[in-house]
Amino acid sequence: MEEKTAATSGEQKRLLRALDGEMLERPPWWLMRQAGRYLPEYRTLRTRAPGFIEFCLNPALASEATLQPVRRFGMDAAILFADILLVPHALGQKVDFGEDGPILEPITEGSGISGLRQAGFAGLDPVYETVRLCRAALPVETALIGFAGSPWTVATYMVEGGASRDFRVIKAWAYRDAHGFGALIELIIDATVDYLSGQITAGVDAIQLFDSWAGVLSEASFARWVIEPTRRITARLKERFPNVPVIGFPRGAGLFYQRYAAESGVAAIGIDTAVPVAYARDMLQGRVAVQGNLDPIALLVGGAVMEEEVRAIRAALGGGPFIFNLGHGVLPQTPPRHVAALARLLAEPVDRA
């Protein structure tokens, strides 16, 4: 008789089964930004390190932050506690987290990448230790997701010096001097592959690439700065780690979602709240697993509003490979009891009527 492996016996982690294309009666769930300020225990923990980067690079604190939401709500996956801006930090850029979000000493069109570390990639070893601590502490059925920002999104922070409204500086650079800008993207691709390889070697089961600002580009620019770098990262990871699936989250990509699903090499696609679920079912789910897409504000409001939104999402997407998630991250103002209510709702079988 054929020996039963975890993969054939149904013992495999629910998240990985969905990423492998399986339809599950009770689909896996986790929430983007499931760790963080909406949890009182996170706010207490956070006071134990002065700066946010120090917090992220402290394996004891970062692993505890990773585990907190899973302990409380029993998600099917934990997401490593870290930040997409650790990569610019490791490349030698000055990164600070102020009251109003991140502040970076911007990389300019004039100086290009000359100020960044170009050979070797060190400094993120504590993150790999965080992965090992999480892996050792998590229940066997709970997947651990590693992550990085996608090169385009990371570059927006590196070039704009923080959050941006119109992406004027980075887009103008990319249009005027695609070659020089491309060198920055190349550098981020290499750093990202190294960083994610380190996370995988330390024990993460899957990877998510956050492309939070994928939705601000023209068609040609989207192909060049979103799809192509993502394709290069997934291809290089697949060569070394064929069994580690990548979830791509090109937030706001709208009519480019289909092309991204077809060309980027991801195993699953995260859809934002504005993507119609019937469209995702008909046009994306045949090719990749779909993850999403409850409005974070519906979670913040809770009650019947949230229940109705959840029902519609599960009814549309529950018939194929599906991972329940939000359309963007949990907001700090979200009452934890609404997440507990969501957990109870998702424990029930999908009503596809």
Is 17 known to be catalytic?
no
Site for ligand CP3 in 140-159 (CB under 6 A): 147
Residue 124 or 350 having the CB closest to ligand CP3: 124
* 85 is a contact residue toward ligand CP3 (CB under 6 A): yes
CB neighbour burial string for 95-109, b if at least 16 within 10 angstroms, e if fewer: bebeeeebebebbeb
Residue 33 or 281 having the CB closest to ligand CP3: 33
* 35 is a contact residue toward ligand CP3 (CB under 6 A): yes
Out of 101, 139, 276, 335, the only residue in the binding site for ligand CP3 (CB under 6 A) is: 101
Angle between helix 151-160 and 178-202 (nearest 10): 120
* 68 is a contact residue toward ligand CP3 (CB under 6 A): no
Closest CA to 30 of 188, 144, 153, 107: 144
Catalytic residue among 20, 26, 42, 46: 46
Is 46 known to be catalytic?
yes
The partner residues of 143 in beta bridges, in order of sequence, read: 77
Catalytic residue among 83, 211, 272, 295: 83
Query: Contact 185/229 with Cβ under 8 angstroms?
Result: yes
Minimum CB separation of residue 191 from ligand CP3 in Å reads: 16
Q: Tell me, what amino acid is at 12?
A: Q
Token readout for 250 is 């090109």
Over the window 162 to 201, marking each residue x when it contacts ligand CP3 by CB under 6 A and - when it does not, the resulting string is: -x--------------------------------------
Token readout for 182 is 């491309």
**Integer angstrom CA distances of residue 217 from 23, 195, 206, 222:** 33, 26, 27, 5
Residue 248 or 318 having the CB closest to ligand CP3: 248
Pairing of strands 268-270, 246-250: parallel
Which residues are at the interface with ligand CP3 (CB under 6 A)? 32-37, 46, 52, 79, 81, 83-85, 97, 101-102, 147, 163, 210, 212, 329
Catalytic positions are 33, 37, 46, 83, 157
